[in-house]
Structure 1
Amino acid sequence: MTKTEANTLISSASFDAKEQVLMRPPYLKTGDTVAIVATAGVLKNKKSVEKAIQTLEEWGLHVVLGKHVFADNFHFAGTDEERIQDFQLALDDGSIKAILMARGGYGTGRIIDHINFEKFKKHPKWIIGYSDITVLHSHIHNLGVETIHGIMATSFSTENDDKTAAIASLKAALFGDHLQFNIPSSSYNIPGTAKGQIVGGNLSLLQNLTGTSSSIDLTNKILFIEDIGEYLYHIDRMLYGLKRNGYFENCKGLIIGYFSNIRENSTPFGMTLEELVLSITKEYDFPILFGFPAGHEDKNLAFIMGREIKMKVGKKNSSIKFKDSY
């Protein structure tokens, strides 16, 4: 059996019988082709993806661009039809082994119901992104395929140690290195251990997806959330919305990523983000980890959505290990 065949083999021996076992796209190897496609916001200029192209080529990969990746339709990278066409072509092209989303913003939810995933389900490939790409992570999870939560093409241009770590983590995820993270302590952590598939993404998108075919059943899963630019009362409202939809009832654990640029009204909300999260989840007994380095910051570490993880949370130190590293 080849490595590629082994990567996509589905074995349920070590998974909970109630849990859907996801297909794993083949890890990348030298000479593989990666497509850069925009399903959401408009790109400012062609230079915005040059660093990503350079980096991928340094990894020994071939890079192709969606025909309309630089299209400009006001808020969007082209019309809905153009973005559908680019993403569909990249999904269906057997020579393309991964799709790196150009950027987030808004727009993926407008086109998700017009994408045909039949070929993709038979021959899965890595879909990479975050923020608005939460729509794809959730939808594809329900199709039974793993994806990668990580930086997008326009994010490569900033150069600092945190961004270097983010890029290195993406390479590790794409090429099949073992993934595990040691997380700095937080006095807000709720200690405990948990095992389950990691799912989630941007809180605003997760709340928006409730009631749709893209919403995920969190039974026996570990939820990751992040967001940017939200008022505390918005975060409170969204978390209560998820709670009322039963999101936390059978959840195994909660991981809090970056909540960047949190906003406050002129009248204070009265709680910090951490206090808000703990208040909403106080009747549940799953572990909660604060400060996982993923989301809208330079150190946006890549990880595999839908992969089983072991999560150990403590007041002094915490760790996350992905299946195949334990």
Structure 2
Amino acid sequence: MIKIPAYLKKGDLIGITCPGSKMEQAAADYAANVLTTWGFRVQMGITIGTGFHNFSAPDELRQEELQDMLDDKDIKAILFGRGGYGTICIVDNLDFTKFRKHPKWLCGYSDITVLHAHIHQRLGIPTLHSVMAGGITEETHANKYVHSLQQALKGKAVKYNAEPHPMDREGQATGLLVGGNLSILANLSGTRSQIKTKGKILLLEDIGEYRYHVDRMMYNLKRAGWLEKLAGLVVGAFVQGKETNTPFGETEYEIIQHLVEDYQFPVAYGFPVGHQVENYALKLGVPYELKVTGKQSSLKEITK
């Protein structure tokens, strides 16, 4: 049985921390102010506004702060400041004993995919693939994608629609939604954080990767069994892709299409999620219905 964290109500406390790369204090302060207008209180971690090389702080400090927020019963959700790199360095030293008994929403994407995957596979507790504090800015705070985070935290079941894509593979599927950043997922292959994807809907997105890297990572997923008996595939944004001097010859979507051609599950391309403004909040580890037609693609959360 899925143990869904409690949804938030007015006055609840949200913690902000950076388990990976560093974040400017001013950006975090702006996001915190927006959260207070939503009716929440905010506890800012000491990893905000600090730096240790590319990280927000040394491994031990990042781990300690995240552990404290996981264990603190007063904190009802953790909104990560940003992704970058570093969560993989601390995940194996985190103790989820108290979190298992008193789960809370962990909100973020990109490098936070480490936590999404690990918690789903080891604990079966849902998490939230969403904008992070760094993405809540003066330009974005009022848009529907940031607003979707607020709605998700408050427990609204959602249905998101996307424009049809010429590469879509039509069909319908139901299953738990899992996944996130392709680079992270490929690097979790063979570890105890690798997701067992049988009967599930897999979400993929990425940023700043050479196209041959995307090809190699998709082969990794295929060879490691991620695509076997998958119920469906949702392909989000692949942005800021890179080319070598000799072009690879396929776009990111064409690479994915090529690697999944042996399977029959529905595939929705261009879904509004990933490293872009159009980034809907999606609850991972809960059931969804995926429909891909010639007119649109949709993801509908199943609540009963």
Q: Would you say same fold, with TM above 0.5?
A: yes
Equivalent residue for 1:53? Answer: 32
Residues 121-142 of structure 1: CA deviation (Å, up to 9, x unaligned): 0000000000000000001112
Equivalent residue for 2:51? Answer: 72
Equivalent residue for 1:227? Answer: 206
Secondary structure at 1:86 match in 2: helix
Report matched runs for 1:153-232 at 5 Å. Answer: 153-160=133-140, 164-232=143-211
Cα separation, 2, equivalents of 1:316 and 1:139: 35
Does structure 1 residue 152 correspond to structure 2 residue 132? yes
Cα separation, 1, equivalents of 2:95 and 2:32: 27
- The residue type equivalent to 1:128 in the other structure is C
Does structure 1 residue 22 correspond to structure 2 residue 2? yes
Question: Equivalent of 1:253, from 198, 213, 232?
Answer: 232
- How much does 1:177 deviate? 1.0
- Which 4+ stretches in 1 moved above 3 angstroms? none
Equivalent residue for 1:265? Answer: 244
- RMSD of equivalent CA atoms: 1.2
Secondary structure at 1:148 match in 2: strand
Cα separation, 2, equivalents of 1:63 and 1:51: 12
Equivalent residue for 2:116? Answer: 137
Structure 1 unaligned blocks of 5 or more? 1-20
Report matched runs for 1:86-125 at 5 Å. Answer: 86-125=65-104
Cα separation, 1, equivalents of 2:295 and 2:138: 32
Question: Equivalent of 1:82, from 55, 58, 61?
Answer: 61
- How much does 1:158 deviate? 4.6
- How much does 1:265 deviate? 1.8
- How much does 1:192 deviate? 0.3
- The residue type equivalent to 1:275 in the other structure is E
Does structure 1 residue 280 correspond to structure 2 residue 259? yes
Work out the number of aligned pairs and report it: 303
Cα separation, 2, equivalents of 1:144 and 1:255: 21
- How much does 1:160 deviate? 4.4
Residues 206-227 of structure 1: CA deviation (Å, up to 9, x unaligned): 0000111111000110100000
Contact 1:49 1:157 in 2 (8 A): no
Structure 2 unaligned blocks of 5 or more? none
Residues 12-68 of structure 1: CA deviation (Å, up to 9, x unaligned): xxxxxxxxx42100000001000001100011x310112211111011111001133
- The residue type equivalent to 1:39 in the other structure is P
- How much does 1:274 deviate? 2.2
Equivalent residue for 1:33? Answer: 13
Contact 1:40 1:76 in 2 (8 A): yes
- How much does 1:300 deviate? 1.1
Secondary structure at 1:311 match in 2: strand
- How much does 1:81 deviate? 0.6
Secondary structure at 1:157 match in 2: coil
Secondary structure at 2:212 match in 1: helix
Secondary structure at 2:222 match in 1: helix
Contact 2:22 2:47 in 1 (8 A): no
- The residue type equivalent to 2:93 in the other structure is H
Contact 1:100 1:128 in 2 (8 A): yes
- How much does 1:272 deviate? 2.1
Report the TM-score when normalising by structure 2. Answer: 0.97
Contact 1:22 1:141 in 2 (8 A): no
Contact 1:200 1:225 in 2 (8 A): yes
Cα separation, 1, equivalents of 2:259 and 2:252: 11
Equivalent residue for 2:291? Answer: 312
- The residue type equivalent to 2:254 in the other structure is E
Secondary structure at 1:236 match in 2: helix
